[in-house]
Amino acid sequence: MGNAIRLSGLIILLATLLSPAGLRAQEARPHSMLVLDQSDRRGPFYYQVFVGLRDAVSAHSHAPTTIYTESLDLNRFGGEAYQESFRRFLETKYRDRPIGVVVAVGAAALEVALRWRPQLWPDTPIVFALVEEADFERLRPPAFVTGGIVTLKFENAVSVARAVVPDLKTVVIVGAEWERQVIFRNWKDQVAAGIPGVDIIEMVGRPMPDIIGQVAALPDRSAIIYTGLYSDGKGNYYPPSDALAFVAAKANRPIVVSAETFLRPGGIGGFVIVPSLIGAEAAKRALRLLDGEAPENLPPSAIDAVRPIFNWQQMQRWSVSEASLPQGSEIRFRDPSFLEKYRWRAIALATALLVQTLLIAFLLHERHMRRKAEVEARNQQSQLAHINRQATAGELSSSIAHELNQPLGSILTNAESAELILGSPTPDLQEVREIISDIKRDDLRASEVIRRMRSLLKRAPFEKKDIDLNQSMREAFDFLKPQASARNVAIYLQTSPQTLRVKGDPVQLQQVILNLVVNSMDAMARMPYGRTIIGRTEVNGAESAVISISDSGPGIPQDRLNEIFDPFFTTKEQGMGIGLSIARTIVLAHSGQLWAENQSGGGAVFHLSLPLAA
């Protein structure tokens, strides 16, 4: 049974190949196409049909194909004489140009092509495009004709009108008279049959001014269905998409359309024919014929070139939501989102923000690190200052011992005297009282020495207080006196008559004074005699107080006047070289200045200026 079927299939195939049509199919056809448009190809719709066709031909790369195009322009021209002259024109024009396939775009073009074929292209197959179901039925073309049949239903346009106008009551059809319509003329019967529940007003074949007047005052719950207008009735012709723009500018209701090219000029959308798909479909059939396939083997068939497409801007105008549209609808001409519109600016802004953020993060990090380093440096400095104070205290140990010995000695003497007095039969109690008060005074003096030592050696954090510089100098010099006399140094202090109020850390400022005086004593150590130190305080203008410590030592070599303040600069055998550098750091922290000079009469002088407190 299976074998029998296969055998009969083979016989049919052979018969087909050997038949005249089959033989013709094997002949090579010239690789050229003549595209015959029923309308003007310069209008957007027919142009898009052509673009679809041309692109499909270009994509078919294995054989170059020549495309010729002719527009019959049947919306604007017609009649026997016109058609006959056009035929003769083509006859002359293409005398030496063999045509492999004729592509007729539109039912009217197909009719003309069929009529002209015996004279112009007797053996050439015809591919039709943009032929509506009803036209195909009417023409019933012979076997050498193939093509894609499109179906456009009026009821689909009404269903879209219902989707965009809630509770739709009326549809108003705006277009040229049915007979002049090339694609939509088959709607005439469908319109006449009516749609249940909807009133249909045919505004068909009216002059443009009439139409524009009426569409501006349509009732609520109505929609316009636009089929196409080609002229204003006064001899002015235009592509139907241009005419739609005039209507849309005045219409007070949404306009449902059925061609993709009617979307942009003001149609809200609908089930629209996509012309480029029509062109591509026709090209595919034509190319198969040019490649040798027989038209009989490629029968006409329905094609899917209609899509639900809508115009977003019109949807906004008529408050139509996406949800109310048919499923799978495509929405065009959306306003670009902020990001789409300002893409590059947004990217630039975001980049700038990012860079700025990184920069800020970097700066914050750097600030944090600097703070950390500052704190560390300050810690180290205070550690050094403490070491320096310890060293100074060490150097001043004889002074301290002396200062303590004095009160302790007189306490002892006084205590012994009191003992003696109390041992007598009639002790003079008044004298004992005086002795005890002396003991108390000396004790206070001793504890004052210890207090000062402790405060000097204490590692206290930097704190600013109101200080009188004269007082600080006096205390320091008193403290230094025993050391000075032990080292044979005459030490004088001349304070300014007015008090010198400054804000500062008393212990640190005293450290500076001690460092300067001890340095002076060191500098004069090798001098056999005449060791003198003079301390002065004075006001410099209204702004600052100046302390100077001058000595009669050898002075400082001129080129080292600055160097001596560098850390670890020393000329002494046991020196650490940190005293002056710490002194300067302390003074700078008090917003003051510390500098050294040589006196004209010999010896060095150190000046310390500090801002006076307001």
Return residues touching ligand ADP (CB under 6 A): 515, 519-520, 523, 551, 553, 556, 564, 569-572, 575-581, 604
Cβ proximity to ligand ADP: between 261 and 585 the closer is: 585
Give me the least distance between CB of 580 and ligand ADP, in Å please.
3
Give me the least distance between CB of 384 and ligand ADP, in Å please.
11
Cβ proximity to ligand ADP: between 379 and 571 the closer is: 571
Give me the least distance between CB of 603 and ligand ADP, in Å please.
8
Which strands make up the sheet holding 32-37, listed edge to edge? 66-71, 32-37, 101-105, 126-132, 145-150, 301-302
CB contact set of 239 (below 8 Å; sequence gap of 6+): 40, 42, 43, 44, 45, 230
Cβ proximity to ligand ADP: between 33 and 604 the closer is: 604
By CB atoms closer than 10 A (0-12, 13-18, 19+), residue 307 is: middle
Query: Residue 119 corresponds to which tokens in the numbers above?
Result: 């004279």
Cβ proximity to ligand ADP: between 411 and 578 the closer is: 578
Cβ proximity to ligand ADP: between 365 and 572 the closer is: 572
Give me the least distance between CB of 385 and ligand ADP, in Å please.
12
Q: In one letter, which amino acid is 507? A: V
Give me the least distance between CB of 451 and ligand ADP, in Å please.
26
Give me the least distance between CB of 514 and ligand ADP, in Å please.
11
Give me the least distance between CB of 374 and ligand ADP, in Å please.
23
Cβ proximity to ligand ADP: between 154 and 565 the closer is: 565
Query: Residue 403 corresponds to which tokens in the numbers above?
Result: 């200062």
Give me the least distance between CB of 474 and ligand ADP, in Å please.
21
Q: From 68, 70, 73, 75, select the one nearest 54 (Cα to Cα).
A: 68
Task: Give the C-alpha separation, 175 to 160, whole Å.
Answer: 18
3-state secondary structure 408-457: HHHHHHHHHHHHHHHHCCCCCHHHHHHHHHHHHHHHHHHHHHHHHHHHHH
State the alpha helices, DSSP H only, in 27-170.
44-59, 80-93, 107-120, 133-139, 154-164
Task: Give the C-alpha separation, 486 to 453, whole Å.
Answer: 19
Give me the least distance between CB of 551 and ligand ADP, in Å please.
5
Please report where in the chains the tokens 């595919």 appear, as a residue: 284
Radius of gyration, CA atoms only, the chain: 57
Task: Give the C-alpha separation, 505 to 321, whole Å.
Answer: 78
Q: From 192, 222, 305, select the one nearest 259 (Cα to Cα).
A: 305
Give me the least distance between CB of 521 and ligand ADP, in Å please.
9
Give me the least distance between CB of 415 and ligand ADP, in Å please.
42
Give me the least distance between CB of 515 and ligand ADP, in Å please.
6
DSSP annotation of 260 reads G
Cβ proximity to ligand ADP: between 223 and 578 the closer is: 578
Cβ proximity to ligand ADP: between 22 and 575 the closer is: 575
Cβ proximity to ligand ADP: between 300 and 553 the closer is: 553
**Structural contact between residues 285 and 298, judged by C-beta atoms closer than 8 angstroms:** yes
Cβ proximity to ligand ADP: between 546 and 556 the closer is: 556
Task: Give the C-alpha separation, 502 to 543, whole Å.
Answer: 10
Cβ proximity to ligand ADP: between 577 and 611 the closer is: 577
CB contact set of 44 (below 8 Å; sequence gap of 6+): 239, 241, 261
DSSP annotation of 461 reads P
Give me the least distance between CB of 523 and ligand ADP, in Å please.
3
Query: Residue 202 corresponds to which tokens in the numbers above?
Result: 């045919």
Task: Give the C-alpha separation, 280 to 56, whole Å.
Answer: 5
Please report where in the chains the tokens 């039709």 appear, as a residue: 128
Cβ proximity to ligand ADP: between 53 and 549 the closer is: 549
Between strands 306-311 and 301-302, the pairing is: unpaired
DSSP annotation of 614 reads -
CB 85: neighbour CB atoms within 10 A? Answer: 11
Apex CA 301: angle with CA 288 and CA 65, to 5°? 25
Cβ proximity to ligand ADP: between 421 and 561 the closer is: 561
Cβ proximity to ligand ADP: between 447 and 571 the closer is: 571
Cβ proximity to ligand ADP: between 205 and 567 the closer is: 567
Cβ proximity to ligand ADP: between 44 and 579 the closer is: 579
Give me the least distance between CB of 534 and ligand ADP, in Å please.
12
Secondary structure (DSSP) of 469-523: HHHHHHHHHHHHHHHHHHTT-EEEEE--SS--EEEE-HHHHHHHHHHHHHHHHHH
Residue in the shown chain whose Cβ atom is closest to ligand ADP: 579
Between the alpha carbon of residue 530 and those of residues 489, 494, 524, 526, the distances in Å are 8, 19, 9, 11
**Structural contact between residues 499 and 540, judged by C-beta atoms closer than 8 angstroms:** no
Query: Residue 479 corresponds to which tokens in the numbers above?
Result: 């403290």
Give me the least distance between CB of 565 and ligand ADP, in Å please.
7
Give me the least distance between CB of 574 and ligand ADP, in Å please.
8
Task: Give the C-alpha separation, 149 to 136, whole Å.
Answer: 7
